[in-house]
Structure 1
């Protein structure tokens, strides 16, 4: 499995298990960009191309709402009014799961007002887009935007370990993955029970073929967070890959008792059939 795919699993896609059927999230546009892109060069053309594809997926009512809001961007008015319109546009696409488009508008709003709440919305949206991205350029771009906006929040509040974990995972997919791994280790030094950091370190251990180390990570994870179904599953995967068959069998059987989800059950059964 490709490194990028394993990273995507670590941030929620779970391709190995096939645990969830996730929607495709790629974006594109051109039309409305003229009114705002000139004002904010920091938002790249990858985003201006990233709204139109989603536009075709909107219902007529949604298209009407978006068109009305875009029209307001060209009207003279207070700066905070424009920010509110951009925020509303981002919210529409966020609700639809069109995260590139949501990030585009939230980023414009954040840069317009310097509001850290909007910067967080932009960073979170780009991170969601990052987790779905398969194209190398899309991965790199959404990672960069995630870092830009979430780091803006972290500069103001370094205690936000939830955001730091997400930034770390974007660095792991870059040309300098050790930067991300170092960040995850720093998070665990501050909070040894941090759920996201332990999980992602476990996934990275699987990626590098360190299955015994991965098992140790997932053992810690389920000790602190026993309801983490992903961790429970990947503990079984780690045992399986480490050739600890009796442990793998017991772990997968335990997972079977934790859920009634058909996709999860089928994934687990697939491993049990190999034991």
Structure 2
């Protein structure tokens, strides 16, 4: 199942999308901002993240991973080590072991610290792992890693709003959530039609119980990005939670026409049965 489809089901059964540790804060009122401090996160210690998953790899991938780890440990040249690290990351990514994938992309970035593309790949991988993490300490650690890599890219190219939204969301689950919310507002000020910005502000409004405000955000989102299936689904849920039964029913019916995924359709039907 695709990640987007999994997230839809997670919300449908009552969990919070991806960032399970999000605090219940007001996201659409004016608030002050706090200075952002983002020292580059240090590399993971030699108690490798990958070891947590060694026994879970499929047999074919386990053999290939062992060979690549041997190359990573013994190769003399950085290019060969980097390719081995990237190949290992791909294996773990394909098997849904996102923290291990991020670790190896971090290793690749460490081997060539001047390569911003590698830092971006590592940051995105850590963000994906962060999005699925459940343990509070792990969420915090993965968020710090995400910021450590992506902020290095943003220092060189501050107009990368796609990366800034990821950094903002890591702050939302931190001890200072308003820092992330302020960043998200800045993104929408710069680009009022920003897909990630509108989507995330809608999600945060839902998390804080502001379902009418969430509906407004998702209405904006699908106005500019009608193919955003998650936005269409969350708009229906926001209507449902706002007691807008007619709107909710119409929106859920619209979602049914957008996908053939049986799990999503089952979730939609569950809501329709409750109307």
What is the TM-score with the length of structure 2 in the denominator?
0.81
222-231 vs 50-59, which moves further = 50-59
Tell me the distance in 2 between the aligned counterparts of 1:190 and 1:272. 37
Tell me the distance in 2 between the aligned counterparts of 1:51 and 1:76. 19
- Within a 5 Å distance, the mapping from 1:124-273 to structure 2 comes to 124-273=124-273
55-64 vs 119-128, which moves further = 55-64
Matched-pair contact (CA < 8 Å) for 2:5–2:264: no
Structure 1 position 13 matched with structure 2 position 23: no
92-101 vs 119-128, which moves further = 92-101
Matched-pair contact (CA < 8 Å) for 1:18–1:263: no
Q: What stretches of structure 2 of length at least 5 have no aligned partner?
A: 15-40
Offset of residue 177 of structure 1? 0.7
Tell me the distance in 1 between the aligned counterparts of 2:183 and 2:68. 40
Task: Point out 4+ residue stretches in structure 1 off by more than 4 angstroms.
Answer: 9-12
Tell me the distance in 1 between the aligned counterparts of 2:177 and 2:5. 15
Offset of residue 52 of structure 1? 1.6
What is the TM-score with the length of structure 1 in the denominator?
0.81
Task: Provide the residue aligned with 1:3 in structure 2.
Answer: none
Tell me the distance in 2 between the aligned counterparts of 1:81 and 1:174. 37
Task: Provide the residue aligned with 2:21 in structure 1.
Answer: none
Relative contact order higher in (CA < 8 Å, ≥ 6 apart): 2
Q: Rate the CA distance shift 1:270–1:61 in 2: closer, same or farther, 3 A.
A: closer
Task: Provide the residue aligned with 2:49 in structure 1.
Answer: 50
Task: Provide the residue aligned with 1:78 in structure 2.
Answer: 77
Task: Provide the residue aligned with 2:93 in structure 1.
Answer: 94
RMSD: 2.4
Matched-pair contact (CA < 8 Å) for 1:10–1:203: no
Aligned pair count reads 245
